[in-house]
């Protein structure tokens, strides 16, 4: 059984819609859909812990069911989580790595906004950015 299949089964057993669960754990409902449909194999440990709290489950229960193996139980923000390729963000400082690993939890609109903002940051130099932050533009 995959994590997504387990999540859907457990969510339905609890009588929750995807939007209900997403609201309880503070993520976008499309992220729940992506997990349940297998587009995201295994969410970050932090997200799984929020899911467990909402559904009354545990990592131990998932290991016993064969949904998780010992390698899947990693620390929050680890690049070993299955929704990112191994090593994808190894060059980033830990605080950025953890943030980028959670991008999939954002709605598509927010992901587009983030992408546009990052594109903007890459097109200006530091001096222009400092002037913009102070409310001044060249």
Q: Is residue 124's pLDDT more than 80? A: no
Give me 64's structure tokens. Answer: 């016993």
**Confidence band (pLDDT; 50, 70, 90) for 21?**
very high
pLDDT (tens digit, 9 = 90+) per residue, 94-105? 777 667 767 777
Give me 79's structure tokens. Answer: 């690049």
**Confidence band (pLDDT; 50, 70, 90) for 84?**
very low
CA distance 50 to 19: 15
pLDDT at 55: 93
Q: Is residue 92's pLDDT more than 90? A: no
Q: Is residue 8's pLDDT more than 70? A: yes
Angstrom distances, CA of residue 23 to CA of 26, 51, 60, 71, 99: 5, 11, 24, 29, 20
Reported residue count of the chain is 138
CA distance 18 to 12: 9
Structural domains present in the chain: 3-106 (1.10.260.40)
- pTM, to two decimals: 0.55
Report how far apart the first and last C-alpha atoms of the chain are (Å, whole number). 58
What backbone phi and psi angles, to 5 degrees, belong to 56? 70, 40
CA distance 131 to 138: 7
């Amino acid at each position: 059984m995959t994590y997504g299949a387990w999540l859907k089964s457990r969510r339905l057993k609890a009588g929750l819609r995807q939007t209900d669960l997403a609201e309880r754990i503070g993520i976008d409902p499309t992220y729940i859909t992506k997990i349940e449909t297998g587009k995201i194999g295994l969410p970050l440990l932090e997200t799984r812990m929020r899911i467990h709290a909402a559904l009354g489950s545990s990592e131990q229960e998932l290991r016993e069911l064969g949904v998780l193996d010992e390698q899947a139980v990693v620390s929050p923000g680890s690049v070993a989580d299955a929704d990112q390729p191994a090593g994808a963000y190894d060059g980033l400082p830990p605080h950025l790595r953890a943030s980028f690993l959670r991008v999939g939890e954002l709605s598509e609109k927010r992901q587009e906004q983030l992408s546009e903002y990052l594109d903007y940051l890459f097109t200006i130099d530091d001096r222009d950015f400092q002037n913009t932050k102070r409310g001044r533009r060249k």
